Amino acid sequence: MEIKIDSSLNLKGVSCPLNFVKAKLKLEQLLAGQILEIIIDTGEPIRNVPRALKEEGHRIVGVEECSDGAFRLLIQKNGGHING
Amino acid sequence: MVDKFIEDKHNKITVDTRIEGKVGEIDFNTLKSGGLIKQRQKDMFTVRLRCPGGRVPVSKLEKIVQVAKKYAGDYIHLSFRQSIELPYVDYRNFKAIYEQLKQVDQKIASCGPRVRVPTACSGCEYNPNGLMDTQKMAKLVDEQFFGYELPHKFKISFSGCPIDCARTSEMDLGFQGAVKPEWDEETCIGCRICSKACIEGAIECDPETGKPKYYPEKCLYCGDCIRACPTDSWQERTKGWIVRVGGKHGRHPIIGHKIAEFISDEDVPRFIKTIIKWYENNGKGRGRIRIGVILQIPEMWNMFVEMLRDEFGGKIIENPKPPIKNEIH
């Protein structure tokens, strides 16, 4: 399933909770159902960011571990449903 | 000269010999409930308020401030067990304070050999780590057990999660929230977030498929995996309280260990009742002795565990460890 990415944010080297705040602000600019791609570090960020996004009602629709250990997440803004 | 806390002399020395014969002005019931601590200064007491779980509604706080301004010193002190204390209160004003605080249902706390006000963390309503409702339980336990007379002081606390801010291992009886996770293979996408989220090493993911393997012996039941999983493939299987018994702080601290797992909210009062009854019966004739000291005697420990097993069956864990001294000196 191809997921169309509407916006991207590279949050490598950005620590908690700033990475989450940046992702949240970006999501606010999107429409419900649109997809944000973020790259976050392993360790603290991967422990906290997915959980905090879930708690805000967003859906994580894709996860991929990059070769450098970072994670690529696809987040669907709350309120929408993915088609396709 | 009297410079000892009231709690030490309670029932042994009559109040009039201590406070210059002004018996008539003192509300004896208020004194007996404790919470009135003699200061170094003549006629001065600290009044300890009853604030279960450290939660004080703003409406009560307003009244407390009014009373403090009128009858107490120019600050309040936050006690180590989450209660508000009003220092520099003249004993002649006890009754007035008691009555004014009563208008907002604010009670005075206790000292001495009895069940104390339970402490608790801020709780699961808004703390993202919280697993169980500590505030609800602190309120309930305060209502049901506060002030129950025992051989020595008896402290109870509630922590919402394994971070254990309420230090359950240092309490005579401590309850800590816990959740046992369960994994659903079908919905799992093998993303490995759970293995990164688990800081105890209780989840390892297959290098090929990314699917997790769970090691329950390493799990602290914090629920981080459940919260982190993007597909909700980690789910809550059992939630409840882990119970620790026999701890204390003070000059000779004792560490209390886990005795039971995943007991329900409904079981909590049963546990407390059973344990304080046992302590009451088995502390008799031993003087001022904490339950953790009694439980360090091997035959008493065996008897205690057997008694709990009869009452609670499989909720009591296999081979629980008795309390041990925490050597700090």
Give B200-241 as a DSSP string: TS-EEE-TTT--EEE-GGG-----HHHHH-TT--EEEEEEEE
ipTM over cut 0.85: no
Task: Give yes or no: A66 in active site.
Answer: no
Is A43 in the B-facing interface, judged by CB distances under 8 Å?
yes
Per-residue DSSP letter, B326: -
* Whether the Cβ atoms of residue B184 and residue B202 lie closer than 8 Å to each other: no
Instruction: Say which of B196, B230, B231 has its CB closest to residue A47.
Output: B196
- How many C-beta atoms lie closer than 10 Å to residue B195's C-beta? 20
The better pLDDT of the pair B191, B11 is held by B191
Domains and CATH numbers, chain B: 6-102 (3.90.480.20), 119-178+242-325 (3.30.413.10), 179-238 (3.30.70.20)
Chain A residues in contact with B189 (beta carbon < 8 A): 63
Q: Do B197 and A46 touch (CB under 8 A)?
A: yes
Distance CA B224, CA B222 (A): 6
* Residue B137, SS3 per DSSP: helix
Catalytic site residue from A7, A12, A16, A52: A16
Helix (H) or strand (E) holding B274: helix B267-283
Q: Where are the domains of chain A?
A: 7-76
Q: Does B96 touch chain A (CB under 8 A)?
A: no
Q: Would you say residue B1 has pLDDT above 50?
A: no
Which one of A37, A44, A47 would you mutate to disrupt binding with B, by most B Cβ within 10 Å of its Cβ? A47
Tell me, yes or no, if the pTM score tops 0.80. yes
pLDDT value, residue B74: 95
- Is any Cβ of chain A less than 8 angstroms from the Cβ of B206? no
Amino acid sitting at position B253: P
Q: Which fold has domain A7-76?
A: Translation Initiation Factor IF3 (3.30.110)
Q: Does A46 touch chain B (CB under 8 A)?
A: yes
For the stretch B40-92, pLDDT in tens is 888 899 999 999 999 999 999 999 999 999 999 999 999 999 999 999 999 88
